[in-house]
Each structure stands twice: as C-alpha cells, then as structure tokens.
Amino acid sequence: MPTSFEYAVIRVVPRVEREEFLNAGVILFSLESRFLKALVQLDEKRLWVLHPAVDLVSLRDHLAAFEKVCRGAEDAGPIARLSQRERFHWLVAPRSTMIQVSPVHAGLCENPEQTLEQLFGRLVLPPQV
C-alpha cells in the first residue's frame, strides 16, 4: 500500500549573493514508514567552477551532518535526539547560508528507500550521456 512522503533537495550555494546552486543531496521523510534518510554527494569539480576558493573540508562536514542528524547519530548533537518529524522539519527549515534546501515536496510511494535513491539519481547525480 502506498505511503505518503516528503522530500527536499540539499543545495550548495557557494556565493549566496549570486543565487547559483549545485544540488548535493536529498532528504526523504515518511512518517507512516518511520523513515528519515539523506543521501549526499558533492560534485567538487562542478562546485569548483562556481567558486574555486570554497572550503571543501568544512562543506563536506556540514553535508555529512545532514546524514548524521537523519540517522539520529550519537555525535550529531541535540538535534539528532529529536523525533524524526522534528529532525526533518529542522533540516528543511529555510536558511540563507552556503547550504540550503529546496521547498518541500510530497508524494506517495511503495518503498521510501527506493524512492530516495530514484530522486537522488534524478536530482543530484550528473546525467549519464
């Protein structure tokens, strides 16, 4: 039986004033399935084109935090101890920093893990030619 889900795209915005961004991940939440997970992959070569002086080490750490908070990892701080719903809403809250998220979208799916992987392939990974 299909279950509802919500998702948002994680974006890297190296120069906020230019409003250019690179999709770097997807967060998917399904309350009914008790599912919250983020997949992240930073295309450093494409990012370098937008901003050659970006601090990649810091950026990688911040992107990894999305995955940790979704998992509720012990070392992810107090946000990771919130409920899945609270963590999702905290992660997708609007912000004007180098890492932002898209508006939240909703849908129905049979398998949240598979849906996350499909969204990640379509929205984050480079197109296969």
| pLDDT mean for each 10 residues of the chain (129 residues) | 96 87 97 97 90 90 95 94 97 90 97 98 88
pLDDT given for residue 22 in this prediction? 94
pLDDT given for residue 50 in this prediction? 85
Q: Is 115 exposed, middle or buried (0-12, 13-18, 19+ CB in 10 A)?
A: buried
pLDDT given for residue 6 in this prediction? 98
pLDDT given for residue 74 in this prediction? 93
Contact 101, 9 (CB under 8 A): yes
pLDDT given for residue 14 in this prediction? 87
| Sequence-ordered alpha helix ranges (H) in the chain | 44-50, 56-71, 84-91, 112-123
